[in-house]
Amino acid sequence: MLSRFLTSLALAVAFTVFMSGSAFAQSSSDTDSQTFTVVVGDAISITAPADVSINHNLSDSDQPFAQQAWNVYTSNATGASVVMSMGRFVHTGDSAFFRNGQMDLALVSSDSTANWVVDTATGDTSGTGTASVAASSTGPGSGQLGLNVTFIETDASTLAAGDYVATVTGTITNN
């Protein structure tokens, strides 16, 4: 019986000490906080569509390709710049045979935060052998650029049979 009494007394003393506030505030309220953070990584991309080919109609007319959709994206707060370049159409079997090419760039769509615009809409290979077009954004977001490529023909009678190839290279760089 005495041990029960002493145990009860010890518990009562411990409870009193606990409630006296040695480890907890003696007020009727308490406040704390927790921060939640989302980290957005630096991302940038440019995606070209699949390769495309056409058959020359053997006339002296330019040979246009259908518009090709290039997708661009940046997470950079100040946007990004895109440059697309290409060389002449060169015969795959004999580089002595070539034709100039032309690129025309148009804006198909843009996220409102990105504000994608076309900076240089047209370029051709007739002067330096290289053509370039350009676009840019002022903020983060996606865009779609429409690229029209044309095989410039002046005299189809001087064409050698075979494939003439030009490769467009797109480069995106954060501002």
Domain count, the chain: 1
Does residue 11 fall inside a structural domain? Answer: no
CA angle (49, 146, 131) in 5-degree steps: 90
Does residue 168 fall inside a structural domain? Answer: yes
Does residue 38 fall inside a structural domain? Answer: no
Does residue 81 fall inside a structural domain? Answer: yes
Q: Which domain holds residue 156?
A: 44-50+60-174
Does residue 121 fall inside a structural domain? Answer: yes
Does residue 1 fall inside a structural domain? Answer: no
What pLDDT, on a 0 to 100 scale, did the predictor assign at position 5? 52
Residue type, 56: H
- pTM for this entry: 0.80
CA angle (118, 137, 150) in 5-degree steps: 30
Contact call for residues 103 and 122 (beta carbons, < 8 A): yes
Q: What is the pLDDT of residues 144-170, one digit of tens each?
A: 999 999 999 989 999 999 999 999 999
